[in-house]
Structure 1
Amino acid sequence: MPAATVVLWRHGRTPYNQQRRFQGQLDVPLDSLGERQVRAAAVELALLDPAALVASDLSRAVATAAALTARTGVVATLDPALREVHAGEWQGLAHDEITARWPEDYAAWRRGDDVRIGGGEKRSEMADRAAGAVERHAAAVADGATLVVAAHGAALKGALLRLLGLELTSWTAVAGFRNAHWAVLGRRARGWALEEYNVGPPGAGEGVEG
Structure 2
Amino acid sequence: MDHHEGLRETYAGEWQGLTNSEIRARYPEEYEAWSRGEPVRRGGGELATEVADRAVPVVLDAVDKLPDNGTVVVVSHGGTIRTMIGRLLDMEPAQWERFGGLSNCCWSVMGQGARGWRLLEHNAGTLPQPVIGDET
TM-score of the pair, normalised by structure 1 = 0.57
CA contact (8 A) 1:126 1:158 kept: yes
- 1:112 maps to amino acid: G
Distance between the aligned counterparts of 1:98 and 1:80, measured in 2?
Answer: 26
The equivalent residue for 2:9 is 84
Distance between the aligned counterparts of 1:112 and 1:188, measured in 2?
Answer: 29
The equivalent residue for 1:94 is 19
Q: Which has the higher contact order (CA 8 A, sep 6+)?
A: 1
Long gaps (5+) in structure 1: 1-75, 202-210
Distance between the aligned counterparts of 2:35 and 2:103, measured in 1?
Answer: 17
- Does residue 134 of the first structure (1) align with residue 59 of the second (2)? yes
- Give the alignment partner of residue 68 of structure 2, picking from 137, 143, 165: 143
Distance between the aligned counterparts of 2:106 and 2:29, measured in 1?
Answer: 31
The equivalent residue for 1:169 is 94
The equivalent residue for 1:26 is none
Distance between the aligned counterparts of 2:94 and 2:45, measured in 1?
Answer: 20
- 2:37 maps to amino acid: G
Shift of 1:116: 0.9
- Give the alignment partner of residue 186 of structure 1, picking from 83, 88, 111: 111
- Aligned residue-pair number: 126
Q: Any idea what SS the aligned residue of 2:73 has?
A: strand
CA contact (8 A) 1:186 1:195 kept: yes
Q: Any idea what SS the aligned residue of 1:108 has?
A: helix
CA contact (8 A) 2:38 2:94 kept: yes
C-alpha RMSD over aligned residues: 1.3
CA contact (8 A) 1:112 1:171 kept: no
- Give the alignment partner of residue 123 of structure 1, picking from 31, 45, 48: 48
TM-score of the pair, normalised by structure 2 = 0.86
Give me the identity figure in percent. 45
CA contact (8 A) 1:177 1:198 kept: yes
- 2:92 maps to amino acid: E
Shift of 1:191: 1.6
Distance between the aligned counterparts of 2:71 and 2:118, measured in 1?
Answer: 14
